[in-house]
Structure 1
Amino acid sequence: MVSRRDIASLLGAGTLAAAALSPIGSAQAQTGPAAENTFQRIRRTKKLRIAGIVGTEPYYKKDIASGEWSGFCVSMAQDLAKAMDAELEIAETTWGNAVLDLQANKIDIMFGLSPTPSRALTVEFTRPIMLNTFTIIAKPGFEPKTWADLNKPEVRVAVDIGSTHDLFARRIIPNATLLALKTPDDAMLSVQSNRADCVIQVAMLSLVTVKKNPKVGKIIVPTPASAQPTCAGVRAEPDPRFRTFVDNWLEYNRGLGAMKGWITSSLELVGVKAGDIPAEITF
């Protein structure tokens, strides 16, 4: 037989278990730095952590002598840090490791990411920072007007494998002969060596490529114009406070015209002037 004392004991245990599962119990269990979301951690530590990628001008540029960073993404990060009353910390990474760095809580935000479906499975994205137009750099004498002109087996198109350029080419010009090479430099060299007729690059990159080496070819914006959004990636968290703040910050600065100013200033770092930008390309 179960005594009254046994029943009281069971009820007491059940009450404690229910308290542990209740919202109040959960909130108490999750207190402390380990339970902080990104927004709270930045406000507490006064540090905003981002990653930078060497040799990716105009997105990121690192001065080898001084170690100082500049570029479009760095300018944005500096302003975001200021808005959050925080200092900016930059750690080197690669495009391939950026998502892993976010997941591992090594950085708080990664500027300049394209929101591909595969990336969206593991991290979240802000509203678009800008739309980056797809262009081609065509070898001398090769001047297609449309994407349809490129969508032929006799046309050799170079891309850097696994990139958004690669994904775009496979979707838009599936009939072209695609040369998927390891790096953007390899893809560009294939045009210079006449193994490819053109290379696909987004405008922010093609403008820099041609400025550095005008003999490499000509920038063409095939019609119909196509663009991909460039966003910032953030960690997936139950509380979206940080992503919401960044979205609001983006809209505020877009309204002020600051975004366009950061873009043009970063292009000027590598010698690209306003007059070098084809009229079909807007940011």
Structure 2
Amino acid sequence: MMNRREFASLLGLAGTGAVAAATAGAAVTAVSAPALAQQPQGSTFDRIRSTKKLKVAGIVGTEPYYHKDIATGAWSGFCMSMAQDLAKAMEAELEISETTWGNAVLDLQSGKIDIMFGLSPTPSRALVVEFTRPIMQNTFTIIARPGFEPKTWEEMNRPEVKIAVDIGSTHDLFARRVLPKATLLALKTPDEATLSVQSGRADAVIQVAMLSLVTVKKNRTVGKIVIPGPQIRQPTCAGVRAEDSPRFRTFVDNWLEFNRSSGVVTGWITSSLELVGVEKQDIPADLQF
């Protein structure tokens, strides 16, 4: 039987703790057979080409991935830049539905959206949805309290080192795998995990680079970004519905490769970081996406 933490890892995003509110029970049932039975008929690729509509998700308050202007309703951010370009490539218009990281997999299965940008391809998720080739590699970092600057992950793998994570997130799963001997503070939200460092309860909080850059830019007193060695990266992909025809996933893979090889994807990343005040000079020289 899938436990609560495993279910959270199934539905969450790379680097966020938004899945903590998800519960097992009836929600697990929704991910399995009933959800699959509600899938729309016909291939995703053919439907997009015929309706000229590409259905994507937007998540409020998840900068730099997604940002919604409260006054105008306009969307921006890294993932939305990708969605807009993909729609253009497919000669379609965007149809945006607000969702949460926790509901993204269900939205894919039910046909509410055609693609979800920003998901980590965990084995659990791959049981129910499919993934494209990586959009980028998101490096695991820590935000460390003053005076705590470990050079390696192994230096942190000790009981006297207190590591904060947002429970049920990719950060949580990573810490349990890489730092089994450290003292883990699993807190409800990313903000609580970050504040635990600022208050002195924890020596460091684990966050992927896209998030730690934003966290420190917003509050420089929280700590310093450290990239312990060896660098450990996690692929960030787009999730698509599992279906007999691979046409849509293949198209997205080709589109991704074209934009990645020409440097366009990197430009989307840096531009989205600038939206929240992170300039190129704020990005450590040894950090690559």
The answer, yes or no, to whether TM exceeds 0.5 is yes
C-alpha distance after superposition, 1:14-46 (max 9, x if no partner)? xxxxxxxxxxxxxxxxxxxx6321001111111
Shift in Å, 1:64: 1.0
Shift in Å, 1:246: 0.2
**Residue number among 143, 147, 158 corresponding to 1:152 in the alignment:** 158
Segments of 4+ moved more than 4 angstroms: none
Give the letter aligned to residue 247 of structure 1.
Answer: D
Alignment of 1:75 with 2:81, yes or no, is yes
Distance 1:195 1:281 in 2: 28
TM-score by length of 2: 0.85
RMSD after superposition? 0.8
2:137 is aligned to: 131
**Residue number among 110, 114, 131 corresponding to 1:104 in the alignment:** 110
Shift in Å, 1:225: 0.5
Alignment of 1:226 with 2:232, yes or no, is yes
Shift in Å, 1:200: 0.3
User: Which has the bigger relative contact order, CA under 8 A and spacing at least 6?
Assistant: 2
Distance 2:261 2:152 in 1: 33
Distance 2:41 2:67 in 1: 34
**Residue number among 106, 124, 128 corresponding to 1:122 in the alignment:** 128
Give the letter aligned to residue 209 of structure 1.
Answer: T
Distance 2:110 2:84 in 1: 22
1:164 is aligned to: 170
Identity %: 78
Alignment of 1:197 with 2:213, yes or no, is no
Question: Which is higher, the Rg of structure 1 or of structure 2?
Answer: 1
C-alpha distance after superposition, 1:205-258 (max 9, x if no partner)? 000000001111000000000000000000000111000000000001112110
Shift in Å, 1:181: 1.1
Alignment of 1:255 with 2:255, yes or no, is no
Distance 1:52 1:144 in 2: 36
TM-score by length of 1: 0.87
Distance 1:65 1:106 in 2: 25
Distance 2:111 2:71 in 1: 29
Secondary structure in 1 matching 2:94: strand
Aligned length: 250
2:192 is aligned to: 186
